[in-house]
Structure 1
Amino acid sequence: MADLALVFHWNPDYMDGLSLDELAQWRERARVRFQPE
């Protein structure tokens, strides 16, 4: 969740409303955005 907070500036309260599947999808988007290939 820290990577999502870093990349998208989301706070924990916002992320608490997301399912584990949604968090995993957003985590991959954060990885791509932070470390483009």
Structure 2
Amino acid sequence: MAQKLREHGYKNVWALQGGFRAWQNAGLPVDSKREAA
């Protein structure tokens, strides 16, 4: 996914080893709010 984003011009993109679950397990911030359409 990160590579695809880079191909489309995004520059500040990183692949996280372990994915989103690893981020959550590390206790890092997660914003679960959804904005109204």
Whichever structure has more helix as a proportion of its residues is 1
Report the TM-score when normalising by structure 1: 0.24
Report the TM-score when normalising by structure 2: 0.24
